[in-house]
Structure formats: structure tokens, C-alpha cells
Amino acid sequence: AAGVIQSPRHLIKEKRETATLKCYPIPRHDTVYWYQQGPGQDPQFLISFYEKMQSDKGSIPDRFSAQQFSDYHSELNMSSLELGDSALYFCASSPGRSSYEQYFGPGTRLTVT
């Protein structure tokens, strides 16, 4: 079965650079969530989209922005990167924002040096 696709899987950036993370949800899933997981920490909700509109916002820094496109894929744009942004970034998709199902992608490991 098709799963959530994230790209790139690994990314190394320097401080103050920008990064773009991409997420391709499971086909026919219209809801996308972004989570950040630091080392030894639980996933922290950043932002979510339902039908291409932002549906909820969590602890996402102002330096980050995200959007969901007409094909339902989503991109997380990160600017002025800081060392503390180094983490695993997971995208999850769901067939509807009220659905009990939420499937996580493999994640993008971002390292900021």
C-alpha cells in the first residue's frame, strides 16, 4: 500500500540558511500534519492543513511557513536556520481531519551545523 513520502530523507544545512521539506500524503488523504521531534523527545505538533487550508497551528516558529498545494502535497519552509532546529521532521496524513487514522512518513532528518 502507498505510504506517506517525505523528501529529502536527510538534509544538512548551515546556520542562517533556508530549507524546504516536502511531504506527499497517501492518495485520497486530504489532511496533512507536520511534527518536529528532537533527540529523545516526543513529536511536537507544528501545523496542519485540511483541503489546502491551514486548519491548526502549534509550536511553529515564525521563521517557518508551510502550505498545502492543489495536489495535496505539502511543503515546510524553514528560514534563518538555528542549531536548535536540528531534529526529525515528520509529516503525517489522514483521510479527513476528524479521522482516527494518522499515518506518519519516514521523516526528514535535518542537521543544522
Can you give the binding site for other proteins, defined by CB under 8 A? 31, 33, 41-45, 48, 50, 55-56, 58, 88, 90, 94, 97-107
Mention every residue, 6+ apart, whose C-beta is less than 8 A from residue 104. 4, 35, 90, 91, 92
Tell me if residue 25 falls in helix, strand or coil.
coil
Q: How far is the CB of 16 from other proteins (least distance, A)?
A: 27
Looking at beta carbons only, is 48 or 112 nearer to other proteins?
A: 48
Q: How far is the CB of 72 from other proteins (least distance, A)?
A: 15
Looking at beta carbons only, is 67 or 79 nearer to other proteins?
A: 67
Q: How far is the CB of 38 from other proteins (least distance, A)?
A: 12
The residue assigned the cell 551545523 is 113
List helix spans (H) across 13-111: none
CA 56 to centroid of chain Cα atoms:
13
Looking at beta carbons only, is 71 or 100 nearer to other proteins?
A: 100
All three cell numbers of 53: 487550508
